[in-house]
Amino acid sequence: MPFFDLASLTKPLVTAPLALQHLDLDADRRTQLGFQDRPVPLTVRQLLSHSAALPVWLPYTGEPLAEQLRRGIPEGRHPLFRWGTQGLAVYSDLGYRLLAELLELEKRRAFNELGKDATGLLPAPWPEPAQAIPDGPDAEAWSIAEPDHPVPPRAENLPQDANARAGMSGHAGFGGTALQMKVWLQQWAGSRIPCRMAVETARAADGTVWGLGLQRVFDGAWHFGQLLSRIPLGIQGTHVLASTEETLPEPLPTPKPGAGRPSAFWMHFGYTGPALFIRPEDGLCLCLLLHRRGPKGEIIDLDTLRARRWRMLEGFLAQF
């Protein structure tokens, strides 16, 4: 049975549930995390909704994030190096790194142990390898930001994400088979966790809406909500669709400007390919497990990955 690197699906399926279970959402964490010079509070609610005004990404060096930020970031030298904006949602891996640190401080256990016990999903290094894909933009950016810290070496039982390979918990680093995913998702979707996550909390400059670990799906032309809205209400259950196909699909039309209207679904994507869609109203959960690799072993671009996800959803929708 194929093993999948879940990449950023770690955020909504491991980190966010643990944070909602064990952490106060609105306590000020500046002192605890070393951000005493921050002029505004730093809360778990902000971290979960990507609204803490943190940078998008930084290499994981093992030092406290507050100290790393005091050294500065190489703004303008790579798209990953940009600061968030106070009051706006800006997707950041670093917020989930801080959530993992808070969980370890409060529970006095390693984050990976907490995640494995709670979900049944496996933290890296994994007992079996996921299908490898080439390094992504994080490895290129790593050498710009931290030239004195080598990019963590690749290994077949380690995550594709360079930060996760280096040991940065919270944002990536978990994996599983389709069966392991289904077992956990049935518990996850059957609990109150998705309902707590699917609450509009922060909005990005482009209109994207984030809850506490999930992003709202909109129904504009060639947005995923256009497809998902065809699923009748009351079609419940957890559905895990897995594929290791590497053929490249025909490209999709570019989504038209404007996201349309909010749909009943919320979602999250993983850099390596997987996608998660949840409709809290009736508990419907769709998980796509796929690899972001083309027929020549190359990493496929985001538009092609979107088309691959779209075709998988179309196959599921054919029954309706």
Please name the residues in contact with 145: beta carbons below 8 A apart, sequence gap of 6 or more: 58, 59, 73, 74, 77, 78, 81
pLDDT at 256: 80
Global pTM value:
0.96
* Rounded distance between C-alpha atoms, residue 249 and residue 306, angstroms: 10
Q: Above 80 in pLDDT, residue 36?
A: yes
pLDDT at 26: 98
Are the C-beta atoms of residues 223 and 259 closer than 8 Å to each other? yes
Region of residue 154 (left: phi > 0; alpha: psi -120 to 50; beta: else): beta
Alpha-helical (H) ranges within the chain are 10, 16-22, 30-33, 44-48, 65-70, 93-107, 111-119, 137-145, 162-166, 178-190, 193-197, 224-228, 302-317
Are the C-beta atoms of residues 214 and 266 closer than 8 Å to each other? yes
Q: What is the pLDDT of residues 56-91, one digit of tens each?
A: 999 999 999 999 999 999 988 999 999 999 889 999
pLDDT at 234: 85
Stretch 179-190: mean pLDDT: 96
Q: What is the pLDDT of residues 211-235, one digit of tens each?
A: 999 999 999 999 999 999 999 988 8
* Rounded distance between C-alpha atoms, residue 176 and residue 123, angstroms: 9
Q: How many CB atoms lie under 10 A from the CB of residue 149?
A: 14
Read off the tokens for 232.
């009748």
pLDDT at 129: 94
For the chain, give every domain's residue range.
3-175, 177-317
Q: What is the pLDDT of residues 264-320, one digit of tens each?
A: 999 999 999 999 999 999 999 999 999 999 999 999 999 999 999 999 999 999 988
pLDDT at 236: 82
Return mean pLDDT, the chain: 95
